[in-house]
Structure 1
Amino acid sequence: MNRDRIVTGIILIGIGIMFLLANMGLVSWWSFSALFDFWPLILVVVGINIMFKKNTIVSVISWVLFFGVLIGFSFYNFNGDMASGRPGTHNMTIANQTETTEGDVKLVLGGVKMNMSSTENHLFDASYSSREIRTEERHNDNKVIIKVEPKEKNKFIKTNSDSEYFNAKLNKDVVWDIDASIGAVSGELDFGDLSIRNLDLDIGAGNIDLFMGDQYIQSNVEINTGASKLKLYIKEGVGVKIKLAGILSKTNLSDLGWVKEGDYYYSNNYQEAKSQINFDINVGVGKFDIIVR
């Protein structure tokens, strides 16, 4: 048989086995980050193949050993996570502090199922599945600053999976600024009971239900997304201004009977509403709906 075909076949089989194991839940999708740890081994294998170019057996053995090490390392990491209660048991909890009245949350996440809501028990309470996430907490006078981001940027490459999640609850008595950059996401962001001053969502692709309430006088929400399905739930009585851009396959804005002036849509009660939300939404390709409830 042709040597190049054999080697190519082994590489495809090895990659296929890794994807199969991940889909079956036998290893985590995060195991693929091991490629960044073992990239020098790829150079070793390629070097062996160059030195023994005419020896098919050596080439086959080198690639089989490479994928054997990679898969073995994935099993080892995954079993270690399970033995220590991971994945899914990483937590970040910030206790209530009476002097804290403002919060600043910065999120950088890959592909993930995400849910956010309110709480009275803590300032901030989060649980997440990935051990590659680094969290940081700082207090500045009456403000808490929270960062959730990858430990190493070059490792934050993953495939969206039901096994990867990030759930968080924010204190309902604090005024929040939220800046989130997410690769691919599905889930529910229920801010109906929260005082949201500024919300900035940068999403690659996803399916998101966003709930906004009337707890803050004037909220500013900016959403930039590639290919997404976005449902926006607004509490009845809230004044809404929306600037919408992008290529939308479907939107119900024209069915709401709102006033359109230039690039903006205004709810009929915008001027007199006690609580107002200003939206700047850019959807690359996708669907956008507003539900007033």
Structure 2
Amino acid sequence: MDAKRITTGIIFLFIGIILLLSKMDIIDFNWFEVFRYWPLLIILVGVNILVPKKDIGYIISIGTTCVILSIFTYIGITTPNQSFLSRIMENNHVDIDMDEEDFKGTSNFVSSKNSGNTTHATANIDLGATQIKLKDTTESNLFEATNNSNKYFLSLNSDSKEGQPTTLNLSGKTKKGINSKGNTTLIKLNKNIIWDLNLDVGAADIQGDLSNFKLRNLTIDAGASNLDLKLGYPQINSNINIDAGASSIQIAIPRDAACQIITEMALSSVNADDSFIKGNEKGTLTSPNFDKAKNKFQIAIDGGITSVSITRY
């Protein structure tokens, strides 16, 4: 009897059963909360190294494995699915040593005027310790952002050259020692512009109703995140690229929109409706009208412990 093989088999069996039950909607398992207790796996490795390679050692090794997996099961099943992210958003604060000079030109509201002849713009959004909402439109301006806390400061600069698309750079920060937890940044876009959006965030809760906007490219680089996106009809090629760690991702697309989804994830589950067909390559889902469609979505998701849900509206 090989204790190492048995414990490894038990761990893989545990992961497989949990993923299967989650896929069948029998349980709602919180991988994010379980991930916080990863040091228990180090303890398990230490126990396997220390115990003697005899019958009593096998019993201790297998028993420890079952106890730790039981703890993971209890945490994953009994903890609400968003509690890990919510705790990050509530407790996290930016602690940056900056002088008053660094905050000149910042406020909790920033905007960029619409020149009237802009057809395409890029927005680079670099925010931390804030909930992000992309949903409202603005016609008088090209871009607006506001934060509901007077302790969270936004900075916006733009680069506009004749004959070139406008580039906007939005960043957010707080002064050293100031806790701005629980704040929200609302971003408004001009719906008449074709947009490229690049979001670089840490532990983030992003709610984006982009159904009214012309979105050509969307790139999201996030850590432990909750992403809830509603997309409108694609441009000729609308590319959605998401790189996330321990994340929950929900994406809603129009009912008849052509779409291909490519996922590369470790511990993950992907739920999509019957309108998608599994491809020959692992992690590929494609709508039947994708090849012939002129306008289409190409969605690429790279994540760790990630739950992905693709729905239509």
Q: What range is the shorter-chain TM-score in? A: 0.5 to 0.7
Q: Which residue of 1 aligns with 2:160?
A: 139
Render the CA deviation track for 1:93-122: whole Å, top value 9, x for unaligned: 222222111111111111221101252422
In structure 1, C-alpha distance between the alignment counterparts of 2:184 and 2:275, rounded to whole Å: 34
Q: Which residue of 1 aligns with 2:109?
A: 91
SS in 2 for 1:184: coil
Render the CA deviation track for 1:46-80: whole Å, top value 9, x for unaligned: xxxxxxxxxxxxxxxxxxxxxxxxxxxxxxx9xxx
Amino acid at match of 1:183: G
Q: Which residue of 2 aligns with 1:290?
A: 310
Q: Which residue of 2 aligns with 1:176?
A: 195
Number of matched pairs: 214
Task: Tell me which moved more, 169-178 or 142-151.
Answer: 142-151
Render the CA deviation track for 1:175-213: whole Å, top value 9, x for unaligned: 111111100111311111211111110011111111111
Q: Does the Cα contact within 8 Å between 1:172 and 1:195 map onto a contact in 2?
A: yes
Q: Among the aligned pairs, what percent are the same residue?
A: 24
Report the alpha carbon displacement of residue 214 of structure 1 after superposing the two structures with TM: 0.9
- Structure 2 unaligned runs (5+)? 1-86, 101-106
Report the alpha carbon displacement of residue 255 of structure 1 after superposing the two structures with TM: 5.1
In structure 2, C-alpha distance between the alignment counterparts of 1:145 and 1:268, rounded to whole Å: 36
Change (3 A) 1:283 1:29: closer
Residue 302 of structure 2 is aligned to residue 279 of structure 1: no
Matches within 5 A, 1:1-293: 33=95, 36=97, 90-121=108-139, 122-128=141-147, 129=149, 131-142=152-163, 143-150=165-172, 161-162=181-182, 164-253=183-272, 256-263=275-282, 264-293=284-313
Change (3 A) 1:221 1:29: closer
Report the alpha carbon displacement of residue 290 of structure 1 after superposing the two structures with TM: 0.3
Over 3 Å off, 4+ runs:
129-133, 155-161, 253-257
In structure 2, C-alpha distance between the alignment counterparts of 1:290 and 1:140, rounded to whole Å: 38
- Structure 1 unaligned runs (5+)? 1-22, 39-76, 78-88
Q: Does the Cα contact within 8 Å between 2:273 and 2:310 map onto a contact in 1?
A: no
SS in 2 for 1:111: coil
Amino acid at match of 1:188: Q
**Structure with greater proportional strand content:** 1
In structure 2, C-alpha distance between the alignment counterparts of 1:156 and 1:281, rounded to whole Å: 35
Q: Does the Cα contact within 8 Å between 2:209 and 2:231 map onto a contact in 1?
A: yes
Change (3 A) 1:289 1:33: same
In structure 1, C-alpha distance between the alignment counterparts of 2:275 and 2:178, rounded to whole Å: 39
Amino acid at match of 2:216: R
Report the alpha carbon displacement of residue 257 of structure 1 after superposing the two structures with TM: 4.2
Change (3 A) 1:108 1:120: closer
Q: Does the Cα contact within 8 Å between 2:273 and 2:311 map onto a contact in 1?
A: no
In structure 2, C-alpha distance between the alignment counterparts of 1:160 and 1:287, rounded to whole Å: 28
Report the alpha carbon displacement of residue 286 of structure 1 after superposing the two structures with TM: 2.1
Change (3 A) 1:169 1:156: farther
